[in-house]
Homo-oligomer: A and B are copies of this chain.
Amino acid sequence: MPKDTFNNLPEEKRNHILEIAIHEFAANPYDVASISNIVRKAGIAKGSFYQYFEDKKDLYRTLIEISTDKKQALLTELPSPSPWSDLFNYLRWQFLSTVIFEIRYPDLSQITFRAFVEEVPFPEMAEELRRRGTTQFFKQMIAQGINFGEVAVWVDSDVAAFLLETVFYQFGKYFIKRLGLSESSTLDIKIFESEEAQQLIDNLMDIIEAGMKRSPKQREDYFNKG
């Protein structure tokens, strides 16, 4: 919730400030990210900053929101399969968009990642993040997948959601490192046309799918294990 002063700014200036702030908070943990750095690089007065934002925390909250919004926008932009028709297809799609998000907005992605793994110094925000985050959504999908017979009945939906979320948050960075992409890569989505990229994503998704899918063999294994 930046102040009105900030929202009334010319869009260009507003974005300039935000970009620099995003870069700073991506590069450093919350406490280390420096307002002084941001205003210096943005070329605005220290005092101005505090007329735009309540305080450091306010800025941070704004960045998290931006990240969430951009992610949402990306999701609606990409052609989406119905989550209800084919669960694993849908997960594959979710997965793909996470990677695209990472490539398109590496800094925002990093900020969200930090919020996920570090304890941001505001417990209430971490909680909020998790609520609005993917965890609950994943859990519901898995649960429904079980009901619809797509997912093996023995799968604990909470455990599966944890696994999905955890891997999702880290895969972007792994993907980039594995493919040797520079961070400032402007190839964007074209990357996914390469065979190697496709195989990478498919491979991970295949493992996950095989791990959860309901199949006679798995059912048999499960009930015989004892």
Contact = CB atoms under 8 A, between A and B. Distances in A.
Interface of A: 27-29, 31-32, 113-114, 117-119, 152, 154-156, 158-160, 162-163, 166-167, 170-171, 174, 178, 199-200, 203-204, 206-212, 215-218, 221-222
B155 A207 contact: yes
Q: Which of A199, A206, A208, A221 counts the most B-chain CB atoms under 10 A from its CB?
A: A206
Q: Is the interface of A mostly helix, strand, loop or mixed?
A: helix
B31 A155 contact: no
A203 B159 contact: yes
A159 B170 CA distance: 12
Specify how many copies of this chain sit in the oligomer.
4
Contact of A159 (B200, B218, B222): B200
A210 B209 CA distance: 9
Contacts of A200: 156, 159
Contacts of A222: 206
Given A156-B200, A156-B204, 10 more contacts: A29-B29, A114-B118, A118-B118, A159-B203, A162-B170, A166-B170, A166-B171, A207-B211, A207-B212, A215-B217
Contact of A207 (B117, B118, B158, B160): B160
Nearest to A200: B159
